[in-house]
Protein backbone atom coordinates (compact mmCIF):
# COMPACT_ATOMS: atom_id res chain seq x y z
CA UNK A 1 0.00 0.00 0.00
CA UNK A 2 1.25 3.49 -0.91
CA UNK A 3 0.23 6.71 0.79
CA UNK A 4 1.18 10.36 0.26
CA UNK A 5 1.69 12.81 3.10
CA UNK A 6 2.13 16.58 3.24
CA UNK A 7 5.38 17.59 4.91
CA UNK A 8 7.19 20.73 6.02
CA UNK A 9 10.96 20.79 5.71
CA UNK A 10 13.39 23.70 5.33
CA UNK A 11 15.85 22.51 2.69
CA UNK A 12 16.45 19.90 0.00
CA UNK A 13 19.34 18.38 1.95
CA UNK A 14 17.10 17.80 4.97
CA UNK A 15 14.44 16.30 2.71
CA UNK A 16 17.01 13.82 1.37
CA UNK A 17 18.01 12.88 4.92
CA UNK A 18 14.34 12.38 5.82
CA UNK A 19 13.93 10.09 2.82
CA UNK A 20 16.91 7.98 3.90
CA UNK A 21 15.58 7.76 7.47
CA UNK A 22 12.11 6.75 6.25
CA UNK A 23 13.52 4.01 4.00
CA UNK A 24 15.37 2.49 6.98
CA UNK A 25 12.25 2.39 9.15
CA UNK A 26 10.71 -0.97 9.99
CA UNK A 27 7.49 -1.48 8.02
CA UNK A 28 8.54 0.75 5.11
CA UNK A 29 9.15 -0.92 1.76
CA UNK A 30 10.11 2.32 0.00
CA UNK A 31 9.85 6.06 0.52
CA UNK A 32 10.42 9.23 -1.48
CA UNK A 33 10.48 12.82 -0.30
CA UNK A 34 10.00 15.74 -2.67
CA UNK A 35 11.25 19.07 -1.40
CA UNK A 36 9.69 20.85 -4.38
CA UNK A 37 6.15 19.60 -3.71
CA UNK A 38 6.60 19.12 0.07
CA UNK A 39 5.23 15.59 -0.12
CA UNK A 40 6.38 12.23 1.18
CA UNK A 41 5.27 9.02 -0.50
CA UNK A 42 5.57 5.88 1.59
CA UNK A 43 5.06 2.31 0.40
CA UNK A 44 4.42 0.03 3.35
CA UNK A 45 5.47 -3.58 3.80
CA UNK A 46 2.73 -6.17 3.47
CA UNK A 47 0.78 -6.34 6.75
CA UNK A 48 2.34 -3.19 8.24
CA UNK A 49 0.04 -0.79 10.11
CA UNK A 50 0.44 2.55 8.29
CA UNK A 51 -0.30 4.75 11.31
CA UNK A 52 2.08 2.90 13.66
CA UNK A 53 4.73 2.81 10.95
CA UNK A 54 4.34 6.55 10.34
CA UNK A 55 4.83 7.14 14.08
CA UNK A 56 8.24 5.47 13.66
CA UNK A 57 9.01 7.38 10.44
CA UNK A 58 8.15 10.68 12.12
CA UNK A 59 10.36 9.87 15.12
CA UNK A 60 13.27 8.94 12.82
CA UNK A 61 12.86 12.11 10.76
CA UNK A 62 12.66 14.30 13.88
CA UNK A 63 16.05 12.95 15.01
CA UNK A 64 17.55 14.25 11.77
CA UNK A 65 15.48 17.42 11.31
CA UNK A 66 13.86 18.53 14.60
CA UNK A 67 11.75 21.20 12.87
CA UNK A 68 10.20 18.90 10.25
CA UNK A 69 6.50 18.06 10.14
CA UNK A 70 4.70 15.11 8.57
CA UNK A 71 0.92 15.42 8.46
CA UNK A 72 -0.29 11.85 8.82
CA UNK A 73 -2.89 12.03 11.61
**The pLDDT value given to residue 21:** 97
CATH number of the domain residue 40 falls in: 3.30.70.100
40 with 49: CB under 8 angstroms? no
Domain hosting 28: range is: 2-71
* Residues of the chain above pLDDT 90, percent: 97
**Domains: count for the chain:** 1
pLDDT grade, residue 59 (50/70/90)?
A: very high
- Flag whether the pTM goes above 0.75: yes
Distance CA 25, CA 32 (A): 13
Q: What is the pLDDT of residues 28-50, one digit of tens each?
A: 999 999 999 999 999 999 999 99
Query: How, if at all, do strands 39-44 and 69-71 pair?
Result: unpaired
The residues near 37 (Cβ < 8 Å, ≥ 6 apart) are: none
Burial of 55 (0-12, 13-18, 19+ CB in 10 A): middle
What is the CB neighbour count within 10 angstroms for residue 73?
8
Amino acid sequence: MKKKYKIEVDCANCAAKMETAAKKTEGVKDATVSFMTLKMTVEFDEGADPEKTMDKVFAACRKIEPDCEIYYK
